Chains A and B, each alone.
Chain A
């Protein structure tokens, strides 16, 4: 009996580690940008190409910055959630159209609806790099001082919005 006890214990510990490992998502890499000032950029707008959008315009507001693209299937999954969030008026969602074709992006928004007051165009993906984007969709919650408070990697879902985004937005707005 005793000689099986040790291997069995080791086996149990291994199973424990592997079980926890299975529940983790290797794509979720903690961003070093949370708690830091949102990188500054100035990008042309999708609808009105002569105008630019910059995070500086948003100082004093709590807002969401959502990187998306018409070629991204996760963005399609996430889209109804963004529409609901935009309709609720909890916080404005500004979009960055990441490495996309203008015509396709416009058609995409026409077809599925536009939750964004303004969409900025990051055709070369340079701003994406500054924000540490490695897979669209990614969403940032930015506070009144322009500091990133939260980063969502991958599509937002109702649960994340309810449990993380909305409480955080409320807390930041109260400050």
Chain B
């Protein structure tokens, strides 16, 4: 099999010389690989997806995923293959579990907390502002200041 592929590559050599090596010949496989790879984390450079990373391991994993796609395995099966080896960490969208609960619920708890804090603060401030009656004299002075502007030194 490897020999056949090698021969095929050698024959096709001049056609793609100088160009980036194509990931696979089948665009359908490649599209599926891309769709899956952006959901998967590269374990070597942890903030890159499998699609972005140039790490040798990421290349190997893309190759594995590509082979599984060619074997017609479902997305679930492919993801299960990776999770059983590398853990939930390979998923950019970790599953909802007791250990990941804080991760999923945390932002909403923080948002709710912030909202409550804001409401309380606004209400308190609202109570502090009092209606003050101003005299006609003061009213005139305000209008005068507004129309003239304040002289700045």
CB contacts between A and B, total, < 8 Å: 40
Does A134 touch B at the CB level, under 8 Å?
yes
Q: Which residue of B lies closest to A124 (CB)?
A: B60
User: Roughly how many angstroms separate A134 CA and B57 CA in the complex, as a whole number?
Assistant: 7
Task: Tell which of A27, A125, A129, A135 touches B85, judged by Cβ atoms closer than 8 Å.
Answer: A129
Chain-B contact segment, one of A30-38, A86-94, A101-109:
A30-38
Q: Which residue of A lies closest to B90 (CB)?
A: A29
Does A131 touch B at the CB level, under 8 Å?
yes
Does B84 touch A at the CB level, under 8 Å?
yes
**Interchain CB contact under 8 A, B44 and A132:** no
**Interchain CB contact under 8 A, A32 and B44:** no
User: Given A125-B60, A129-B64, A134-B57 in contact, is the A26-B85 Cβ separation under 8 Å?
Assistant: no
Does B100 touch A at the CB level, under 8 Å?
no
Q: CB-CB < 8 A to B92: which residues of A?
A: none
Q: CB-CB < 8 A to B60: which residues of A?
A: 124-126, 128-129
**Interchain CB contact under 8 A, A31 and B46:** no
User: Roughly how many angstroms separate A130 CA and B84 CA in the complex, as a whole number?
Assistant: 9
Q: CB-CB < 8 A to B89: which residues of A?
A: 29
Give the number of chain B interface residues (Cβ < 8 Å): 14
**Interchain CB contact under 8 A, A132 and B86:** yes
Chain A positions 100-123 with a Cβ under 8 Å from a chain B Cβ: none
User: Roughly how many angstroms separate A30 CA and B90 CA in the complex, as a whole number?
Assistant: 12
> In whole Å, how far is A11's beta carbon from the nearest beta carbon of chain B?
15
> In whole Å, how far is B2's beta carbon from the nearest beta carbon of chain A?
10
Q: CB-CB < 8 A to A130: which residues of B?
A: 85
Q: CB-CB < 8 A to A31: which residues of B?
A: 86-87
Does A76 touch B at the CB level, under 8 Å?
no
**Interchain CB contact under 8 A, B61 and A26:** no
Task: Tell which of B43, B44, B56, B85 touches A131, judged by Cβ atoms closer than 8 Å.
Answer: B85
> In whole Å, how far is A52's beta carbon from the nearest beta carbon of chain B?
19
User: Given A129-B64, A134-B44 in contact, is the A29-B85 Cβ separation under 8 Å?
Assistant: no
Task: Tell which of A99, A125, A134 touches B86, judged by Cβ atoms closer than 8 Å.
Answer: A134
User: Roughly how many angstroms separate A30 CA and B60 CA in the complex, as a whole number?
Assistant: 21
User: Roughly how many angstroms separate A134 CA and B89 CA in the complex, as a whole number?
Assistant: 12
The 4 closest A-B pairs by CB, nearest first: A134-B43, A132-B85, A32-B87, A29-B89
Q: Which residues of B contact A (CB under 8 A)?
A: 43-44, 46, 56-57, 60-61, 64, 83-87, 89
Q: List 10 A-B contacts (CB under 8 A).
A: A27-B46, A29-B86, A30-B87, A32-B87, A33-B84, A33-B85, A126-B64, A128-B60, A131-B85, A134-B86
